[in-house]
Amino acid sequence: MQKNNGTNITQRFATLILLLLSVTVVSAQDLNARVQILSPQVQNTNKRVLGVLEGAIRDFLNGRKWSADILQNQERIDCSFVINIIEWDGSSNFKAEAQIVSSRPVYGTSYNSTILNLSDKEFNFSYTEGQPLDYSDQVYNSNLTSLLAYYAYIITGLDYDTFSKFSGSPYYTKAQTVVNNAQNTSFPGWKAFETLRNRYWLVENFTNKAYTPLRQALYDYHRNGLDVMAENQAKGRKQIIDVLPQLQKIDRQRQGSMLNQVFFTAKADELVNIISQAAPKDRMAAYNILSAVDPSNITKYELLRKN
């Protein structure tokens, strides 16, 4: 009897361990975010709070579920937040800029393709050392957590869109909710009338049916283009080149749209590297489109004409 009791206890302990492990797997998070806070313009000598803040932001981004799926550790979305503190009153008020970058792996390679490379010039917030970073999808708690949640949803939506057609929609809707909840704040970047290029307009573009062809292009570019190149470079390259007229059509219909520019900011260098290996006729056709829809990167595209 004693031996059986011991066996039962052992079995129960093993079951408990398995349950705990299963909970750990279920609660595995979605982002693999690197966070860096810079403050070269800040004169305050006591910058310990910035180190605490950096860790709090990293934990907030990496410690929460942003998607509806259970992701394996290797499936977590690589991203980075470089936050440059421009002004700090020495207490709780920060004026900052942020560079937000995310990428996704390319099938059959060790290469990661950048899908977002965005500069937010109004990444302002309030924070005191030790302050919990509370967040809810239902209400606006603070500008800092709203900023982080907004970009977490945008990053997640973009990643999903590149793997499965239009599957990022639920996450853009969540980002839209963050924007809606922030309409009464005095912090800039959330309102339509402030500028044509801010957080309001980015998510508006993602949720606007007029930009559905661009989201289709995102899928075709990555899933039918980049992911094919490991097995058939010519086929993958052709798919990527075939995406360009779709982007040109969107640009003509909605010239200067924020979403088009977000795409090219992330993809300009990659496009040059891929298309430079194409036939001269295809290179020139691509150059003509790219120089028209993305003149800010024309010096990069000149390489296609010279190759």
pLDDT tens, position by position, 13-69: 444 444 444 343 444 589 999 999 999 998 876 789 999 999 999 999 999 999 989
Assigned token pair, 14: 């093993």
Task: Place 180 in a pLDDT band, splitting at 50, 70 and 90.
Answer: very high
Q: Which of 10-19, 79-88, 173-182, 235-244 has the lowest mean pLDDT?
A: 10-19
Assigned token pair, 207: 């949720």
* Number of structural domains in the chain: 1
At 257 the pLDDT is 81
Class of residue 177 by CB neighbours under 10 A (exposed 0-12, middle 13-18, buried 19+): middle
Q: Which of 3-7, 44-48, 121-125, 246-250 has the lowest mean pLDDT?
A: 3-7
State residue 79 phi and psi, 5-degree precision.
Answer: -155, 165
User: Would 229 be classed as within a structural domain?
Assistant: no
Q: Is the pLDDT of residue 198 over 60?
A: yes
| Average pLDDT of the residues in 256-282 | 94
Percent of the chain's residues with pLDDT above 70 = 90
User: Would 2 be classed as within a structural domain?
Assistant: no
**Confidence (pTM):** 0.90
User: Would 298 be classed as within a structural domain?
Assistant: no
Say which residues have a Cβ less than 8 Å from residue 238's Cβ, sequence separation at least 6: none
**Residue 303's closest CA among 293, 291, 99?**
291
DSSP assignment string, the chain: -HHHHHHHHHHHHHHHHHHHHHHHHHT--SEEEEEEEE-TT---S--HHHHHHHHHHHHHHHSS--SSS---GGGSEEEEEEEEEEEE-SSSEEEEEEEEEEEEEPTTSS-EEEEEEEEETT--EE--TT------SSS---HHHHHHHHHHHHHHHHHHHHHSTTTTHHHHHHHHHHHHHTTT-SSSSS-TTT-SSSHHHHHHHHH-GGGHHHHHHHHIIIIIIGGGTTT-HHHHHHHHHHHHHHHHHHHHHSTT-HHHHHHHHHHHHHHHHHHTTS-HHHHHHHHHHHHHH-GGGHHHHHHHHH-
Mean pLDDT, the chain, integer = 90
At 196 the pLDDT is 87
pLDDT, tens digit (0-9, with 9 covering 90-100), for 286-301 = 999 999 999 999 999 9
Cα–Cα distances (Å) from 241 to 224, 227, 291, 302, in that order, read 11, 14, 14, 16
User: Would 52 be classed as within a structural domain?
Assistant: yes
Q: CB neighbours (10 Å) of residue 189?
A: 23
User: Would 220 be classed as within a structural domain?
Assistant: no
Q: Is the pLDDT of residue 10 over 50?
A: no
User: Would 42 be classed as within a structural domain?
Assistant: yes
User: Would 170 be classed as within a structural domain?
Assistant: no
Q: Supply the range of the domain harboring residue 36.
A: 27-164
User: Would 104 be classed as within a structural domain?
Assistant: yes
